[in-house]
Structures are given as structure tokens and as C-alpha cells.
Structure 1
Amino acid sequence: MYNERFWKKSWDPEIKDLNPELWETTFVEAIRPTLEELSEKIAFVFFGIELTFGEIDKYSNQFANMLIENNFKPGDVIGINLPNIPECVITYLGTLKAGCIASGISPLLSEIQMQYQLENLGEAGRQVGLITLDIIFANRIIKFASKLSQLKLIITTNIGSFLPKIKQILGKLLKKIPSGKVTSVQNKININFMDILKNYSTDKPEIEITPDDIAFILFTGGTTGQPKGATLTHKNVVCDLIIVSNWLGWERGKGFAVSGFPFFHMGGLYFLEHCLYLGWGQALIPNPRDTDFIVKVIEKYKPTALVNVPSLFQLLLKNSKFRNLDHSNIIGCISAASPFPKESQQELESVVGKGKLIECYGCTETTALTTMNPSKGLKKLGTVGVPMTNIELKLLDPATGEEVSLGDPGEICVRGDMVMKEYYQRPEETKKAIDEEGFMHTGDVGIMDEDGYIRIVDRTKDMIIVSGYKVYSSKLEDILTKHPAIDIIATIGVSNPERPGSELVKAYIKLDPNYSYDGNEDALKADIINYAKEHCAPFEVPKIIEFAEELPYTLIGKIDKKTLRMQNLENK
């Protein structure tokens, strides 16, 4: 049934499978027409600063030449620990131009998590570089940088470095621009980002790159909740770019986008690539929760597209200024990364225009997108659309591995040239995720209807979705169990009443019988939360803690999270 790809009947009439030879190229070559032919066009805006594609091309050449002159070779890795600021874009592109691998590292991670990712990137003898904010360097990186032998280069910048000097000074005095003291780390190359733009050549670097070379290593919990680096080749990236751009039919060089997706996230990075490929301008949003700022950007630049996680769309809907804007320029609002309640979808379309919301689905391991609602045809609210061109997809029963019937839930499995090469240095995990036939088992459960539209219904590994970020409960529990008061812990996602479609982390805890305290449960809960804040990313920290004498177990001895979820609903 699935091999017949019956969903092609739901494609827009002009959509056909593409010639795979189209993506036998590198990302750098794929965007070269944009950089050269649209060099005078605005590529990015950042707090009033406008950068052209030509400037981005020149600055990224300088970054690439800096890497080359500091003995970084093709295949070495640069960790990019930045919010959405100009340096982030320049670093991604410059890294690829040098033949190196780019790896987004979330600024929200704890120092322990950052250290783990950098250590993993240095496996197999690769040299590692890191670019980070001065405030992150001072508060976190400095604590472990000297311990990492493969970390050879540290580049620092400030969130306001591209702003005029007077704005930088005022911003720091008024504490609107955070900053931290940067000191040299012994046996590392230490560079200030802005010095790169003063001291290195703007000439195009002469480095040979092939479609099969790795472009990105992006960390994900994958399907088991453990941090793993999904390795994406240039071919993976270009394949998905061409498929999606063909699907949407958006006109090259004639659009402007606003997105709150962070570039360290696959969704944000993909859309950054998409704008570079299409020659579209994009607003850089360093703080996606600042909806007043986003509204000002929308009002000034009148974007063609808005691309966000559902929770950000919901925050925007709560802002009356957003509701009162003229949204007639918008041709598409793309939503991905977490469930979007149908009621909220309808509300968004009542503001921006009916038929403009395009829900889609994908994962890091499939280079972002694999299913999407049609650009022009029937969009079924509450679904993530149908499989796009050049993609094979089937739903399997996770227990039996057999194909499920239409209308029945099954794990989404994907095959195509957009599927990652492997989990970096994790061959056993790769075997678990990609089967012998080349299908990527995503760990997400969906239901497909008779037209091929998919509705996501569950997450096989108990992932919790907090404002679009995935919280992997098994990893979180491993960390929190180290608190001396905790004997057994189970975490689940519970509905966030303030953000429909988003969840809060709730922890059920059985206390260690050997742990003694004064009986003040509120104080103990506060202590556990503080411990979580020290060791976890902010979105992973439990918002609700409930102590229990015993936790429920399944017949085979696993903690029964289904029962915990039911109990939580019953107690509301």
C-alpha cells in the first residue's frame, strides 16, 4: 500500500518527482547564485542593521580563511553556540566554505551538556573550534575549556557587536546587552570575532568539497532520548532544500521572512538555508519571546512568510499589536516542531488569512522536512500534510514491524536522499534507527488517512514538548536521579494551560528512604528544582513536582507512565 505512494493524488497538479541529479552538489555551490547574482539585496536585518548577500559572502570568506590559516582542515568541526545574530549566519557559511563541519550548540544548555557535545565532536581525532557569546564564555565555557584537548580554537563575540558603537555602549550601560569578561585559555587559539573581519582576506577560499562530505552534525535525542550527533551531508541538505522549494513554489529573490526558530535547532537552521537558497531576506530574532520586537519587525518589513513553532504563534496571538497588523503580504505561515491545536490554527488563520497556515513535519535525522500540506491545494488543519516528492514513507507497528492500515497509528519511517548518513561515532544507535532497507525510524507515531495526510498522535519514547523544544524524559531522569533525595523518578508532560499545545515537565518522585530532611516538602522541591537548573537546560527543568510513596509499574517492571498521565488528568 505505502509503496504505491497513493498520496501523490493530493499533491498540487504541477508537483512531480524530481531528478535526483539536481542535488548532486554542495550547499555552498547551491547558494552561489544568490550570493553572486543578488549581492546587493538585503539578506538579513538585525536591530536596524541591514546586511546584503554580498556582505555575508565576503564576511563568510574571511571566517573560512581564518580557519584555514589556523590549520583547520576539511572535516574538522566548529561548534556554534550563538543565538540568531549576524555572527551565527557568517560562521555557519564560513565553516562550510572551509570544508569544515558546522554543529549548532544551544546557548540554553548547561555547562555539563555543552562539554559533552564538544567532547563528542572531538572524537575520531577531529579538531574542534567553538564560537560563543562573551557572557556564556565567562559563566560556563571557561569552567571546562582547558580540559578539552581537541578544542583548539575559541572565538567570542557580544550580542551587540554588529550594532553602532553608541548603541553598544548604551546597551551595556543600561544592561540591555549582556556581556562577560573574556580571558585567554591556555593552549587554545583565542580570537575576537570582529578581529576576523579586520584581519583576514575576503577572497573565496579554494577548498574542494563534495556532495557526500558532512556539512552538519546536529545533536538530537534521536529515538532513544540520548544525545547523538546526526550527521548530514551536503547532498542531504540540498536534496531537502530543492524538494521543499519546489513544493512551495515560492519565487526566488522576491520574499522576506520572519522566524523565531533558533538556528541551533534543525528547524531554524533549515529555514536559514532555505532563505539563502531562495535569495530571500530574513529578520534575525535573538529573543523569540519578545513579541513586541517581532511585531515591530513585521510592521516595518511586511514579510512574505512567518515560520515558527506553534507556541510562538500562540504568544503572538496574545499580542493585540500582532492582531492589528496588516498581514496581506503573507503568503504562508509555516508551523513545525510540536503539535499545534486545531483551535489555535483556526485562530491564527482568522488573523493572517484563511488557507495561509502550512503545517509540516520532519526531524533532524531527515534534514528537516518530509511531509507538508500542499502549498495551493487542500490543507487539512490538524495534520502535517502528505509526504513530499522523492520521499518513501510508511507507518509500521513498533511492536511487530508490520505495516499498519490506514486510520491506525504507526511509527513514521522515511527513506530518501534527505535521510542522515549516521549518528556520529554511534554505529549501534545508527543501526537501531536506520533499518537494512534504509528507512529511518523516527520514533514518532502518526495516523494516515485515505488521502495520505498524516496526523501526529504520540511520541514513542516519551518525549515532552516544551515550547517546541524536545525534552527527553529518560535523559532528564538520569540527571535528576543523582540528587541525594531521589530514589525513583518519572517525568511526564502535562498540558500548559497558558500555552495550548505546549507542555510542562512534571516529575513524580519517590524519596530515598535513607535521605533525611525536616519534612518541609516545599523546601525540598525548591532544592530539587535548583539542582535541575544547575544541570539541565531551562526548558528541561520540572515545573511541577509530586512526591509519591510508590510509582506504578507495568507487568514487565517498567514505570507505567501511561498510568501517571491518567492519574494526572483525573486529579485536575
Structure 2
Amino acid sequence: MTDRPWLSAYPPGVPADIDPSQYASLVELMEQAFRDYASRTAYSFMGKEVSYAQTDAESRQMAAYLQSLGLAKGDRVAIMMPNVPQYPVVVAAILRAGFVVVNVNPLYTPRELEHQLKDSGAKAIIIIENFAATLQACIASTPVQHVVLATMGDRMGFLKGMIINYVVRNVKKLVPTFSLPGAVRYNDALARGARAPFQKPVITPDDIALLQYTGGTTGVSKGAVLLHRNIIANVLQSQAWNAPVMSKVPQGEQPTAVCALPLYHIFAFTVNMMLSMRTGGKTILIPNPRDLPAVLKELSKQTFHSFPAVNTLFNGLANHPDFNTVNWKNLKCSLGGGMAVQGAVAKLWLEKTGCPIVEGYGLSETSPSASCNPVTSKEFTGTIGVPIPSTYMKLVDDDGREVLLKGHPGEIAIKGPQVMAGYWQRPDETAKVMTEDGYFKTGDIGIIDDNGFFKIVDRKKDMVLVSGFNVYPNEVEDVVAGMAGVLECAVVGVPDEKTGEAVKLVIVKKDPSLTEAQVKEFCNANLTGYKRPRVIEFRDSLPKTPVGKILRRELRDKK
């Protein structure tokens, strides 16, 4: 597909293409921000504000410390922390020193952590002490030689830091006992780095910036190799895409984004941290998005303009009794990604904030953003929008041929400057997902309309086959989520003697009096026979990843 029918859907001022060559590396992008916005606040965390100048100085010190360990250019350094001010400092340090960032989910088990550290070949890890016991359990089997130990209160000032650490360790008991001989405390590493020389390496656009491990929903977790130019491209694409609404932030007001998604996730890494660097914005760091009262309490003190989140977070906040303690009037951009946004959630969010959720789409392998609805949209489309600048998307069949029949589903394939270089040391896996003409096959099944808007009908493996008919869980979930009394729901396929598979529906109630009979009646009225759930189950909660994606496979495993 060489023509781009979707360009006609672009709002005025959004370019068809961006120029990722304006920076040689992410380091160049960050150092420009450190110069241009030195006096501005870069991060806000638990009442503490950290300036761009401070982020610059501390990341340079940490970069010098890491170089003093004898690591060579291109060596991998893992980060295992929640959203704390040390995270962006450490990212900047690793990249400035010429090393590769390996983002690690802090909630990993020892088995999962061991796999990622071994697979990436990480020689050093910077970890918050809350998860040090996990590292202790597996470090002997990994190539890690150097450990830097951070705490929640490290950069909060002496007294406040002591109080925070006391509460985390002794009141909330969030730090299991651990032993990591030879580990260096974060503040000590900074102090050593301040005394050490810093050698500025030559970094090119084709150098690796990070290994971003995929969630492993399709098998073993693999590292997507993201080059400096991949992330730069996606930052510039995101900035261009958001410009029609972010340009409306009043003069003199610093553009401010809520970072409730974890920074180890590529969505927050690029669209929060790196995009804010590019625009001189402030990022409000939320360490635990599952603690909704704490999130709302923090936001009630802040003015903010941009809020990237997942459907489950939008839904949880909009249904929370404290929702109206926050001033949502300055919100210009609510970006939904990571999972399908449900129509009922989008409707409620718009009613309550006046700012529509704009659904986008992407993957770790695409840095992540590939498509998005125009930010000027006023209504929920139920689509993943159109490819963003410099991006091409098409549908392909199982043989890799383009699906040209309108309305016919095919696997979504993506080409653009944000697409990864491949999977880390897995040429066989890379070959499976890359086409000869440079498209990345996503594993998501979609359709495209005449205007170039793509709609996901599901992941290849999540599809339920009922008597030969394809049932897409997203569709059934979207219908049921619109029912009064339903807070959340998820659909999976379960084995069935008669039909091969049957649809199983799991519901979290908003109204405790909701019954199975009412759900069946609603489904009968809204879904054709083969799409109706055969099994209906009520639960107190749905299993989710730390990012908020519903873990369908866990629902499938438990009959």
C-alpha cells in the first residue's frame, strides 16, 4: 500500500511525515532539554519538584559512576523501579554513558527476572530495595556484577526521605529482608560519580537505546531492540499528533502530563518521559496507579494537560467517589492505549471531564505508537484511528499477502521509522514477524474502512471459534461493559463438546444485585446466538498486568 487514504483524516497542521534525523541520538534530545529548560520542573513526586538542571547534573554523575565500573559501550544496564525520580535520572545516565537500558517490571518473580537478566546479558542493575529480595533469589544465575540500591526517599531531602523510608520499611512493610553483598547505595553512587571523570561517547542513530521486553503473552518474553532513532521518531510523531490540542495550553503554563503508567512500560517511557523532555514539560510521577485514592489526592493538587492511560485506569478513576476532588478542566488530551478502550468507559470519561479519550495503538516493537484517532475527535470511534505521520499500515493474510477486500479482516502490519530493529539475539523470531518489504506483523487482526481507520477485531490467539464462527472477545466485552450494573468484564474461550469452544464471560459487578439471568437477557438482546456467553461468572476483580491489561489467559486457565 503506497497511497495513504488516512491523510485526509489528519487535523490541520499535522504533517504527513516527520524528520527523525534532527537528532543523532536520544542523548542529544535530552541534553537540548537540559539546556533549554534548565530552570523548569521536570518531575513532580510526592510534593517534591525536580528541575531539568538537577536531572542533568545527577544523570551526568550516575553516568560517570557507571563508566567507572569498567562497562563498555553497548553494555546493558537493567532498571527495576516504580515511578520514582531516580528512574528518569538513571535512564538519562545509562544512555549518556553509551550503554543500553533494559526496562524491568518490578513485580517480576525471581524466575522472570532471571530470564530477562540472562537474556539481555545485563552486567549491572539499578533496583529499588523493595524488590531486592527478588534479585537476591536469582542473581547468582545471572551475568549481573554490579548492583545499585535505591530507596523511595533517596532524593526527597534528608528529613522527608528518612520519614518516607521508615514508613515504607516499617509501617507498610514493603521491603522484605534481603542480602546483596557489594551493592552500592544510590546516593553513594551519585557521590562517587561526582568525583569520577565522564567520557562522552559517540552515539549514532543506529546504536541500541533499549531492550524492551514484550509481555510474553505470545510465549517467552523477547527483547525488542529499539534504536535511538526509533524512539526519537516516535517522540516526534507523538508531538506532531498531539499538537492540535496541546498547542491550546495557555501561554506561560508549563505543559504537564500525568505519568500513572509505569515508566518501564514503553507507552510511558516514550509518550510521558521522552515526549516531556522534547517539549519541556513537567511529568507528575504516580508510583502506584492501583491506589486510586492516592492518585486522585495527588492530582487534586496539580494542574495538568495530558493523561495517557489504559481503559482500566480511566474506568477505575471515573467510577471513584473522589473523582470530583480533581480539577479536570485543563485536560487537553486523554490518550488511551495498551488495550482496547470500551465505549461505555469513553462515554463516562467524556461526560465527567469534557475531554474525550483518544484511542491509539502500538506495541513494544513499535516504540510504541503506530496509529491514533485524531486528537480533535469529539466522539468515540471504537477504532484505533489512523497511522500517525511517517507510518504505513496494511492488512495481510496468513501468507503475507495484502488483504485488499474492504471490510475483510487481516493481520495488521506496520512500517515506519519507529519499528524495532528486531528481537534481541533471536533472528528466527524476528524473521517470523518481519515481511520482506519491512512491515512488522503484529498478531492483531483488524479491518480498515474507506477513510483509512483501522479497527482491531482481536489478537490471533484470543479469538474464540464457536461452531466454525469467529467470536472476537473485544466485541462481546464492549457490549457487556455498556450494561448498567457492570463495572468490568472479560471474555475468553473455553472448551465445549458441542461447539468446539464456548464463550465464557467474567464480570465484576458495579451493582451487587446484578444476576446471571439479567446478563443473559441483555446478551440475548444485543448479541447474535453464537456470540452469547455460555458460561457467566462473577468475580471481585479481574487478573491484570501491572499496566492494567486484563490477563485473559488466567481467566482461561481457571474454569
d(CA) in 1 for partners of 2:263, 2:448: 30
* Residue identity matched to 2:224: A
Q: Report the alpha carbon displacement of residue 42 of structure 1 after superposing the two structures with TM.
A: 0.9
Asked if the contact 2:18–2:233 (Cα under 8 Å) also holds between the matched residues in 1, the reply is no
Q: Residue deviations 1:54-74, cap 9 Å, x none?
A: 111111111110110111111
Larger deviation: 47-56 or 27-36?
A: 27-36
Equivalent position to 1:168, from 127, 146, 164: 164
**Secondary structure of 2:93's match?**
helix
> Do the aligned residues in 2 keep the contact of 1:267 with 1:368 (CA within 8 Å)?
yes
CA shift for structure 1 position 296 = 1.9
Amino acid aligned to 2:79 = I
SS in structure 2 of the partner of residue 458 of structure 1? strand
Alpha-carbon distance in 2 for matches of 1:380, 1:184: 50
Q: CA deviation at 1:135?
A: 2.9
Q: What's the CA shift for 1:405?
A: 2.3
Partner of 2:232 in structure 1? Answer: 238
Question: What runs of 5+ residues in structure 1 fail to find an aligned partner?
Answer: 474-489, 501-532, 548-572
Q: Secondary structure at the match of 2:183?
A: strand
Report SS of the residue matched to 1:497.
strand
Measured in 2, the distance between the counterparts of 1:115 and 1:289 equals 26
- Deviation sequence 1:511-550 (CA, Å, 0-9, x none): xxxxxxxxxxxxxxxxxxxxxx9xxx99688367656xxx
Contact 2:103 2:264 in 1 (8 A): yes
Give SS of 2:413's match: strand
Do the aligned residues in 2 keep the contact of 1:108 with 1:538 (CA within 8 Å)?
A: no
Hey, what's the Cα distance between the residues in 1 that align with 2:176 and 2:368? 34
Secondary structure at the aligned position of 1:199 is classed as helix
Measured in 2, the distance between the counterparts of 1:241 and 1:496 equals 37
Q: Percent of counterpart pairs with the same letter?
A: 25
Secondary structure of 2:301's counterpart equals helix
Partners of 2:189 and 2:439 lie apart in 1 by 43
Segment drifting more, 220-229 vs 329-338: 220-229
Count of residues paired in the alignment: 480
**1:206 Cα offset (Å):** 1.4
Find the partner of 1:229 among 223, 228, 232.
Answer: 223
Q: Could you tell me how far 1:379 is from its partner in structure 2? A: 5.4
Mapping of 1:466-477 within 5 angstroms?
Answer: none
For the residues of structure 1 that align with 2:502 and 2:30, how far apart are their CA atoms?
43
Cα distance change, pair 24–280 in 1 and its aligned pair in 2 (3 A): closer
Q: Which amino acid aligns with 2:324?
A: R
Is 1:179 aligned with 2:175?
yes
* CA distance in 1: counterparts of 2:59 and 2:553, whole angstroms: 37
Q: Among residues 203, 207, 211, which one is paired with 1:209 in the alignment?
A: 203
Q: How far did 1:199 drift? A: 2.3
Question: Equivalent residue for 2:96?
Answer: 97
Contact 2:152 2:161 in 1 (8 A): no
Q: CA deviation at 1:184?
A: 3.7
Cα distance change of structure 1 residues 55 and 224 upon mapping to structure 2, 3 Å threshold: same
Matched, 1:151 2:152: no
> Is 1:401 aligned to residue 394 of structure 2?
no
Who is 2:521 aligned against?
none
Structure 2 equivalent of residue 114 of structure 1: 113
- 1:11 touches 1:377 (CA, 8 Å); kept in 2? no
CA contact (8 A) 1:285 1:294 kept: yes
CA displacement at 1:493 relative to structure 2: 8.1
Q: CA deviation at 1:498?
A: 4.8
Per-residue CA distance 1:243-266 (angstroms, 9 max, x = gap): 110121135983111131111111
In the TM superposition, residue 353 of structure 1 has moved relative to its aligned partner by 0.5
**CA 1:105–1:540: 2 relative to 1, 3 Å:** farther
What is the CA distance between 1:172 and its match in structure 2?
Answer: 4.2
SS at match of 1:370: strand
**Is 2:416 aligned against 1:416?**
yes
C-alpha distance after superposition, 1:68-124 (max 9, x if no partner): 0111111001111111111211111110011100011101111101000100011xx
Q: Which deviates further from its counterpart, 193-202 or 227-236? A: 193-202
Residue 550 of structure 2 corresponds to residue 542 of structure 1: no
Q: Tell me if 1:291 matches 2:302.
A: no
Secondary structure of the residue aligned to 2:209 is: strand
* Matched AA of 1:137: A
What displacement does 1:318 show?
A: 1.6
Corresponding residue for residue 508 of structure 2: 497
Report the CA distance shift for 1:427/1:173 in structure 2 as closer, same or farther (over 3 A): closer
TM-align CA RMSD: 3.0
The answer to whether residue 353 in structure 2 is matched with residue 359 in structure 1 is no
Q: Indicate which of 242, 245, 256 corresponds to 1:248.
A: 242
Paired residue secondary structure (1:302): coil
Map Cα deviations across residues 283-309 of structure 1 (whole Å, 9 max, x no partner): 111110111121122221121111111
Local SS of the residue matching 1:334: strand
CA shift, 1:221, in A, is 4.7
Contact 1:159 1:177 in 2 (8 A): no
Q: Please give the residue correspondences for 1:522-533 in structure 2 after superposition, counting only pairs within 5 Å.
A: none
Deviation larger for 425-434 or 11-20: 11-20
CA deviations 1:162-205 (Å, max 9, x no partner) are 332442354147523622445344xxx52111112222228764
Question: Are the structure 2 counterparts of residues 134 and 166 from structure 1 closer, same or farther at C-alpha, using a change threshold of 3 Å?
Answer: closer
Measured in 2, the distance between the counterparts of 1:434 and 1:145 equals 34
TM-score of the pair, normalised by structure 1: 0.78
**Superposed counterparts of 1:300-319, under 5 Å:** 300-319=301-320
Contact 1:158/1:179 (8 A) holds in 2:
no
CA contact (8 A) 2:113 2:138 kept: no
CA contact (8 A) 1:73 1:98 kept: no
CA contact (8 A) 2:65 2:190 kept: no
